[in-house]
Amino acid sequence: MTGVTVGILTPHAAPGPEVELPALSRGQVRTVVVRAGSPTDPAASTTPEALRAAAATFRSAQVDVVVHASTTTGYLLGPSEEALLVRELARLCGTPAFASCAAAVAALRAGGAERIQLVHPPWFADALDGLGVAYFRAQGFHAVATRATELADDPAQVEAEHVIDWVGRHLLDDVDGIYLAGNGFRTGAAVDELHRRTDKVVVSANQALLTMLRSARR
């Protein structure tokens, strides 16, 4: 993949995919970010008005592909509504479009995972644990949610080694996959080392989006 410009629609203020997508692609991804809604109302980034406004920005910037980067929004919408969101973004922008949770599902399935541990960051609200489990169970996985409450509550202070250490101490016995959830949970640098140490399928939110971008550019 070379020289792709990605339009990112997100309700989150904390930098996430706009940092990790260029880093994980070794500078091959350029991003254009539109923030709509808020962390307390992520679904506001999916309203027709928000989508039209974002699409206008992305068309002006001539992006190659669009992503809705919000794990929490995917949890709140559920798989069917998230799929409708993706189709509408693709229609409005005239480009391929992807969303966080659907990308994670594709990556976990590609790795052959069936029993997954959701690793949520400490800033996720309690209700998101149940919503995350419901989302992935609706997609055919056996899912269990865990929250890394010992990590820093500030996304900017979470380092890859902190995530690797936490997962190593809290890994469930009967899982074959790990999903590091949250697009503001910058865990892409932890994926390879966690896979090496655990021999599990390991997927992070932004890494899953990058995989989808690469498939779209083939």
* Domain ranges, ordered by start, for the chain: 4-99+207-216, 103-204
* Residues 102, 99: Cα–Cα separation, whole Å: 6
User: Residue 86 pLDDT > 90, yes or no?
Assistant: yes
pLDDT of the residue at 215: 83
The predicted-structure confidence for 107-153, as pLDDT tens digits, reads as follows 999 999 999 999 999 999 999 999 999 999 999 999 999 999 999 99
* Residues 152, 207: Cα–Cα separation, whole Å: 21
User: Residue 65 pLDDT > 70, yes or no?
Assistant: yes
Mean pLDDT of 51-70: 96
The topology under which CATH files domain 103-204 is Rossmann fold (3.40.50)
* Residues 49, 174: Cα–Cα separation, whole Å: 44
Between the alpha carbon of residue 217 and those of residues 3, 29, 38, 47, 196, the distances in Å are: 10, 12, 30, 28, 28
Q: Given pLDDT bands bounded at 50, 70 and 90, which one contains residue 218?
A: low
Domains 4-99+207-216 and 103-204 share a fold: yes
Q: What is the mean pLDDT of the chain?
A: 95
User: Residue 180 pLDDT > 80, yes or no?
Assistant: yes
Mean pLDDT of 87-101: 97
Q: Which residues pair with 98 in a beta bridge?
A: 67
pLDDT of the residue at 217: 67
- In one-letter notation, the amino acid at residue 28 is Q
SS3 category, 72: helix
| CATH class held by domain 4-99+207-216 | alpha beta
* Residues 152, 71: Cα–Cα separation, whole Å: 19
Burial class of residue 159 (count of CB atoms within 10 Å of its CB; 0-12, 13-18, 19+): middle
pLDDT of the residue at 216: 78
Contacts of 122 (CB under 8 A, 6+ apart): 147, 148, 149, 150, 151, 152, 153
